[in-house]
Amino acid sequence: MEDQTYQRLFERLVPLGSAAVAYSGGADSGLLLAAAREACAGRVIALTVVTPYMVRQEISEAVAFATGLGVAHELIELPMPESMEDNPPERCYLCKRALYERLTDTATRLGFFAVLDGTNVDDLRDYRPGLRAVRELGIETPLLDCGIAKADVRRMAQALGLANWRKPTNACLLTRLPFGQRVTMPNLQRIEEAERVLLDLGFDWVRVRLHGGLARIEVAREQRTRLLAKSDAVVTSLKSLGFQHVTLDLEGYRLGSMNAPME
């Protein structure tokens, strides 16, 4: 592809020779996987960690994407570390530490000694303690190293014809809970089902944040009016899932809204 940014990424990857890509199913790791496949002449493997707190649909989408690229793909089960059961502020660090230790072990066993992470420069604008674990464990971050932002990722992924080029950014379900709240599978399932209701209604940038029995819905700002028009159906659906109150966040969808303390 004749794109200077992509060529910079390609040249960053070629010396690796082979690589294991931590593939979440998103646009960032998807682009990285596609670029690594080309730069390493197919000597790549996609590794997807499956945790109790990830969105289930992400797994099937990750499998389909890797299959479409024609690269080897492994799913790795990882139970929730006990240290994360109360959703501590450092949960991202604890998760990434456990996740990349498992990925590194798997990659080494399979003969891959470079493990790649899809962090891009825009990720530095949010609270990302998990990056400390990435650095501690020597995980490589080619997109970050090349100064690649999210807009660059989407542009290059679209040019490559990658199916997930415009896929909304996702994060684990723990980001829908306040820090310090006990994590339970019923709550995670309730959140995932509530977001599925909204996605099925055509809202593509969605978060349902849990505050006790209250669901705080975030959608893209330009979709807030449409959500209000469908509010009766949304309230009925979410209350049937066990939420006592259903609200619309007037600020709209934004990354990391649970990182700031609620007043």
Q: Would residue 168 count as lying in a domain?
A: no
Residue 262 has pLDDT above 50, yes or no: no
> Confidence class of residue 240 from pLDDT cuts 50, 70 and 90?
very high
Q: Across the chain, which distance is largest between two alpha carbons, in Å? A: 56
Report, as an integer, the average pLDDT of 177-199. Answer: 96
Tell whether 136 and 23 lie within a shared domain. Answer: yes
Residue 263 has pLDDT above 90, yes or no: no
**Segments forming the whole domain that contains residue 71:** 4-159
CB neighbour list of residue 192: distance below 8 Å, 6 or more residues apart: 55, 56, 173
More confident residue, 261 or 205: 205
Q: Would residue 253 count as lying in a domain?
A: no
Average pLDDT value for the chain: 94
Q: Would residue 262 count as lying in a domain?
A: no
| Cα dihedral across residues 246, 252, 257, 263: positive or negative | negative
The domain total for the chain is: 2
User: The CATH number of the domain where 234 resides is what?
Assistant: 3.30.1340
Report, as an integer, the average pLDDT of 66-90. Answer: 95
Residue 181 has pLDDT above 70, yes or no: yes
Tell me the percentage of the chain whose pLDDT exceeds 90.
Answer: 87
- Strands (DSSP E) found in 19-101: 19-22, 44-50, 72-77
Tell me the percentage of the chain whose pLDDT exceeds 70.
Answer: 98
